[in-house]
A and B are shown apart, each in its own frame.
Chain A
Amino acid sequence: GEDVEQSLFLSVREGDSSVINCTYTDSSSTYLYWYKQEPGAGLQLLTYIFSNMDMKQDQRLTVLLNKKDKHLSLRIADTQTGDSAIYFCADQFDQAGTALIFGKGTTLSVSS
């Protein structure tokens, strides 16, 4: 079945850029997502990218998609302590009514 892999931990200093990487196996992916989860909370949709795009930028967030290598990354510029959270990469292979396949999440720790 489909699989989404992420590194489990990332530690950065405040002000640096963070890059969280994700790989997926489904070549039929339509959309790929990044979600943020703070302790004890639900998931906040950060951004998503359509599979025919290479890059999407939204303020401090930059998503890069390498469809050939099935690699997705999320870059957070000028990382702040408030960015500390778990970041989930998710994959959707069908636009209509299917659930997302999630990675295990990357815990981002930002030190001041």
Chain B
Amino acid sequence: GAVVSQHPSRVICKSGTSVKIECRSLDFQATTMFWYRQFPKKSLMLMATSNEGSKATYEQGVEKDKFLINHASLTLSTLTVTSAHPEDSSFYICSARATDRAAEAFFGQGTRLTVV
């Protein structure tokens, strides 16, 4: 299957700082990428849909100024958690869908963010 690479896999940061998470589709082009957040023992919650070359669409309750998403190319989307707080600590997972294989959504390995 197609490969989605997410970086970093783990990050610890201090409260008030910003953290950038990258999501890359390695062997396919993805016009649409999705960012999810997973709480312990919970399902994945969609945060936003990222479309290449346009503004991301955020789900209700997700602060767009706090979770900045940039989808600058067909293979890269970034999520920046700005002014991080301990409650932002979570597992963030990105997903990408190939333009020519729209039925299949592939996921990155996730990023464990811990804000201290």
Contacts and interface: CB of A to CB of B under 8 A. Distances in A.
Do A and B originate from a single complex? yes
Interface of A: 30-31, 33, 35, 40-45, 48, 50, 88, 92, 95-100, 102-105
Interface of B: 1, 4, 6, 31-32, 34, 36, 42-44, 46, 49, 51, 93, 95, 97, 102-110, 112
Q: Is the interface of B mostly helix, strand, loop or mixed?
A: strand
A33 B105 contact: yes
A7 B112 CA distance: 26
Contacts of A44: 107
Contacts of B102: 95-97
B102 to A, nearest CB: 5
Contacts of A45: 1, 104-107
B112 A40 contact: yes
A50 B102 CA distance: 12
Contact of B109 (A33, A41, A98): A41
- Most chain B CB within a 10 A radius of its CB, from A44, A50, A97, A105: A97
B43 A99 contact: no
B24 to A, nearest CB: 13
